[in-house]
Amino acid sequence: MQNKLHVLHLARWYPSRADPMLGLFVKNQVTSLPQDVVSTVVFISPVKGQKEVKRTVELSGKIREVRVTYPDHPFGAMNIWNFFRYMRREVAAIQAENHFDIIHVHILTRAGVVGRLLAEKFGVPMVVTESWSRYLQPAVGLRHWLSYKLARYATRGAEALVYVSKKLANALEQHGITAKRMVYIPNVVDTELFRPAQGERRSSGPVRLIHVSCFEEASKNISGLINAVAQLKSAGVEVSLCMVGEGQFSAEAESMAADLGIADLIDFKGLLPPAVVAKEVAVSDFLIQTSRYETFGAVVPEAWACGIPVISTRVGVFAEMYRPELGAEISGTDPASIAAGIRAAVGRRDTFSQEMMRKTAVDHFGKEVVGASLKSLYEDAIRSKNAGD
C-alpha cells in the first residue's frame, strides 16, 4: 500500500454549480477523510438544455473533483450509455496517471455497475455506500425490478456495503442487495459549521420552529406540517416557522399557507448556502421533521450540533437515536399528531441540555469519527481483496 491511500469515488450525486445541494452529504463524507487519504471524485451527469459535453477538473482542498456533464437525451437508455462511456474514459485516465487503491461508489445503481466492472478490470477492491430512500418503498414495475437486479449485481462484487441506518440495511437485505460485509457508517455533520449560537438562547416570544428539506411532499410531508401550524394557531399556541429549501412542492406550500391564513407565521427562505442554514438553525428553538420516511435525515444531527432539540416523526437517525433529552417524538404524520408533538415539546422547552445535544452530534457524526471509520473500512477491504487474490 502507498504511503497515502488513493481512493477513487464514483458519485451518482455530487454538488455542482447547477445544484450545490445535490449529494452534499457525499462531499461531506469525502471531506471527512484523514490527511493521509487522497481522494479523486468523478461525477457524470446529463443536463437538460446543454448542447455539448463539458468537463471540469477542480481541486477542493485535498479532493480532486472531475465533473463531466452531457446533453440530456430524450431516450433514457442513451443517457445511461453516455454515463458508462464517460465514466469508463475518466477512470482509465485517472488510473494511468495516478494509480488508485480502491473504488468507493456513492449511491446505486449505475455507478455501482460501472464501479464493479472497473474494479474487476483494474484489480482493486470496491465498497459501496447507499443512502437512497427508494428502498424503503415497495418496488413497482419493470424499471424498479431491473434497477434492483443491477444493484444486486453491483454489491455482490463489493467488499462492503455501507448503510446509514438500520432500517435502510433491513430494506436492502429484503431486496437481496448485500455484500461480503454490511457496515454501519453514518453521514457526516460539519460540527464546526453547525454549532451553538453565541450569546443567550431566546426565552421569550413565539416558539421558533425551523424545517430544512428538499420540499418533496411524498417523503417530507410538507402539507402535514403547514396544516399543523394552522391548527396550533386556532388553539392559541404561538409559533413561527422558518422553512428552508426548495423543490417540487415549494409553490404549493406557499399557496397553502396563504389559503389557511398563516402566511404571516411562515417565513419561506428558499435555498440557502450551508453557512446560512447553520445560522438559521442555531437561532431556532426546535428543528422539526415531519417525514413519512427517511434513510437518515442529516438535518437532525446538524440541529443537535447546534444544541437545538428536534421534534420528529419516527424516521431515520432520529428514530434510532431518540432519547427524551434530544427532543420530542411525533406519533403520526397527520396534522393533529404533528401539532400534538409540537405542543408537548414546547411544554418542556427548558429541559433540554445544549451541551448534551452537542456532544451527541460530535461523538457520533463528527468528521474525525466518520473519517476514521471510512479509512479503516478501506484498509480492511484492501486486505480482504489481497487475501482473496
Residues 225, 329 within the same domain: yes
> Within a 10 A sphere around the Cβ of 166, how many other Cβ atoms?
12
Q: Could you tell me the residue range of the domain that residue 141 belongs to?
A: 5-188+366-388
- Based on the fold, state whether residues 249 and 130 are members of the same structural domain: no
Q: Is there a domain that residue 197 lies in?
A: no
Same domain, 121 and 9: yes
- Nearest-5° angle of CA 197, CA 202, CA 205? 145
Q: For position 132, what pLDDT does the model report?
A: 87
377 and 342 in a common domain: no
In a domain, 111, yes or no: yes
51 shares a domain with 21: yes
Same domain, 278 and 333: yes
One domain, residues 373 and 334: no
Amino acid making up residue 363: D
The pLDDT value recorded for residue 145 is: 84
Is residue 281, in this structure, part of any structural domain at all? yes
Q: Note whether residue 199 is domain-resident.
A: no
Q: Would you say residue 373 lies in a domain?
A: yes
Query: DSSP character for 346?
Result: H
For residue 315, being part of any structural domain is answered with: yes
Query: In this structure, are 154 and 239 located in the same domain?
Result: no
Q: Would the CA dihedral through 115, 116, 118, 122 be positive or negative?
A: positive
Q: What is the pLDDT of residue 1?
A: 42
* Residues in the chain with pLDDT values less than 70: 1-2, 139-142, 199-204, 389
Query: Please, where are the H alpha helices in 123-220?
Result: 141-155, 166-174, 217-220
Terminal C-alpha separation, the chain: 15
pTM score, whole prediction: 0.91
Give how many domains the chain has, as a whole number: 2
Q: How far apart are CA 253 and CA 217, in angstroms?
A: 9
Judge whether 280 lies within some domain.
yes
Q: What's at 359, amino acid-wise?
A: K
Same domain, 68 and 154: yes
Same domain (yes/no): 370, 360: no
Distance CA 214, CA 317 (A): 17
- Cβ–Cβ < 8 Å for 202, 290: no
Within a domain: 195: no
Helix 250-259 to helix 222-234 angle (10° resolution) is: 20
| Calpha distance 301→321 (Å, rounded) | 10
CA 265 to chain centre: 28
Rounded CA separation 4/46 (Å): 33
What local confidence, expressed as pLDDT, does residue 203 receive?
55
What is the distance of C-alpha 122 from the center of its chain?
A: 30
Q: What is the CATH number of the domain that holds 91?
A: 3.40.50.2000
Same domain, 184 and 292: no
Q: Are residues 55 and 66 in the same domain?
A: yes
**Tens digits of residue pLDDT in 27-40:** 999 999 999 999 99
